[in-house]
Amino acid sequence: MIISERIFKILKDKNMSQNAFAKKVGLASSTISDWKTKKTNPSADKIIDICKVLNVTPEQLLTGEGIDDNCIEYKPINTSSEPEFSKADIRIMKDIHEMKEAQRKRLLKYIDALKQIEALEDLE
C-alpha cells in the first residue's frame, strides 16, 4: 500500500471528508484528488502536517504499521511510548526536506560519522 492509499484508508476509518482533510492540512482539494486518481503521494514537506491531522506517527504513515494490517485503531502520536515532536524537531524535518539530494546524503554521512565518534568515545 502506498502512502496516499494509507491516507485514504485512515480518512475512511475516521469518517473524514477529503475536503475537511485538505483544509486542516492546508492543501487544495484538487491535490488530494490527484493522489487518488494518479496514485501519487504527498510531498515530503507535508508529511508532518498530515500525520498531525490524522493522529498517526510518520513511521506509521510511511511503513503502514498499524494501518496496512487492518487495524482500525491507530496509536495516537502523544502516547507515552511515542516521542512528541517539538517545534525544533519539525523545523529540522522541514529543513531536511528542503535540501537538495546531495546535501541530504552528506547530512546522513555526518550523522553516521558522529555515531561512530560517539561509539569510540564510549570505549574510552
Residue boundaries of the structural domains of the chain: 3-85
Q: pTM of this prediction?
A: 0.55
Q: Report d(CA 18, CA 20) in Å as an integer.
A: 6
Q: What is the pLDDT of residue 26?
A: 93
Instruction: Give the residue-averaged pLDDT of 88-109.
Output: 84
Written as one letter, the residue type at 43 is S
CB atoms < 10 A from the CB of 19, how many?
A: 11
CATH superfamily of 3-85: lambda repressor-like DNA-binding domains (1.10.260.40)
97 confidence band (pLDDT: 50, 70, 90): confident
Q: Report d(CA 16, CA 10) in Å as an integer.
A: 8
The radius of gyration of the chain from alpha carbons, rounded to an integer in Å, stands at 17
Under 8 Å between Cβ of 50 and 7: yes
Digit-coded pLDDT (tens) for 3-25? 888 999 899 888 999 999 999 99
